[in-house]
Structure 1
Amino acid sequence: MSDQVQIRQLHSIDDPTIIAALGEVLADCVDGGASVSFMQPFSAEQAQAFWRKLSAGVTAGERILLVAQDADSTILGTVQIVLSQPENQPHRADVAKLLVHRRARRSGTGEALMAAAERAAALAGKTLLVLDTATGGDAERLYRRRGWQVSGTIPDYAMWPDGRKCATTIFYKYI
């Protein structure tokens, strides 16, 4: 990863410039075929609506939102830690939406975001993290490299943005 990439936490996402930048990363991932809950065609308006919907949870501290930015403050990637869990699961959090713009992939940005997510979750008092990802992709390799354990794989769990079904692997990690 370039020494110019910084990871920082956003405590709110009500700034239209930030929403547009996060929307660009999300739209790029969907356009590139990532299975991240959205289908093609996927518009900038849909991407920005997703981030506006999350705004209240970020502001309320129910989720941690981390971004990777370059020296020009351009957002290259993002990841979320969902802290708000059921009453009987106060020790765990979900890692969600690790998104890295295609122009920043294979640069260590995803690795840096995951390391920061794990640290942030630990600082929030969490000891167990869980996540799911499409089976067989770069993200799965990243999680395995970082010491995440496979809980299982579910066939046909989700779809690629083009409508084809894909398997999903569930991971966990004690931190």
Structure 2
Amino acid sequence: MSDHTDPHHRIEPLPARRIHADAAEGLAALLVDAVDSGASVGFLAPLSPAEAASWWRAAAEETERGVRTVWASYGPDGAVSGVISLARAGMPNQPHRADIAKLLVHRAARGRGLGRRLLETAERAAAAEGRTLLVLDTETGSGAEALYRKAGWTRAGSIPGYALTPDGVPHPTTYYYKVLERGRDSG
């Protein structure tokens, strides 16, 4: 972890009932903040709190089914400061892999190592449950790319015009992967 890690943000897994309870407030606000700050995380601006809450309710249903695990970080004031998801592959020939999804850190909490702590939390959990391969995608040229490279992720390649930025402009997406050893991160 970096010397700039803020230890005042606690990270905890969120059961489905907690995601449902927090969907319309803290989790929705975090997702809206990410889109408002230009993060390409699947939504166009302006993202309404209702649309963000709806996405989180769907994530809660995936959590109930065991398809997704969500961790949230909370600042000293108790507000949601970040989140990350581990989405398990659903096909029978992919029990060894999962995707990292929706790594979000509120603008007010960025630059203190929280994104790295959230990423490490998901990586450790994936390795502990026997996952040996993690995959993620991010907007090419985004600040997140530096985080993933520093955390030992390998760039697999980019696809031009893959997704629209929040303002509707086609932009390339870069895929990364990380190989894990069972029970611990190999990076």
Alpha-carbon distance between aligned partners in 2 of 1:108 and 1:20, rounded to the nearest angstrom: 24
Matched-pair contact (CA < 8 Å) for 1:63–1:84: no
Corresponding pairs, count: 174
Asked whether 1:40 is paired with 2:76, we answer: no
Match of 1:70 in 2: 75
Asked whether 1:7 is paired with 2:25, we answer: no
Counterpart pick for 1:99 among 100, 104, 107: 104
How many Å apart are 1:163 and its aligned residue? 0.7
How many Å apart are 1:28 and its aligned residue? 0.3
Asked whether 1:86 is paired with 2:80, we answer: no
Alpha-carbon distance between aligned partners in 1 of 2:161 and 2:45, rounded to the nearest angstrom: 18
Alpha-carbon distance between aligned partners in 1 of 2:100 and 2:40, rounded to the nearest angstrom: 15
Matched-pair contact (CA < 8 Å) for 2:23–2:54: no
Q: Secondary structure at the match of 2:20?
A: coil
The runs of at least 4 consecutive aligned structure 1 residues that moved more than 4 Å come to: none
Could you list the per-position Cα deviations for residues 69-103 of structure 1 after superposition, in whole angstroms to 9, with x for gaps in the alignment? 11232110101001242111110001101111111
Alpha-carbon distance between aligned partners in 2 of 1:147 and 1:24, rounded to the nearest angstrom: 30
Q: 1:117 is matched by which residue type in structure 2?
A: A
Q: 2:11 is matched by which residue type in structure 1?
A: I
Match of 1:120 in 2: 125
* Unpaired runs of at least 5, structure 2: 181-187
Alpha-carbon distance between aligned partners in 2 of 1:30 and 1:88, rounded to the nearest angstrom: 34
- In the superposition, the TM-score normalised over structure 2's length comes to 0.90
Alpha-carbon distance between aligned partners in 2 of 1:69 and 1:59, rounded to the nearest angstrom: 22
* Unpaired runs of at least 5, structure 1: none
How many Å apart are 1:122 and its aligned residue? 0.9
Alpha-carbon distance between aligned partners in 2 of 1:110 and 1:121, rounded to the nearest angstrom: 17
Asked whether 1:53 is paired with 2:66, we answer: no
Matched-pair contact (CA < 8 Å) for 2:23–2:56: no
Q: Secondary structure at the match of 1:34?
A: coil
Alpha-carbon distance between aligned partners in 2 of 1:103 and 1:5, rounded to the nearest angstrom: 12
Could you list the per-position Cα deviations for residues 39-81 of structure 1 after superposition, in whole angstroms to 9, with x for gaps in the alignment? 0121111111110111111122211101111123211010100
Q: Secondary structure at the match of 1:14?
A: helix
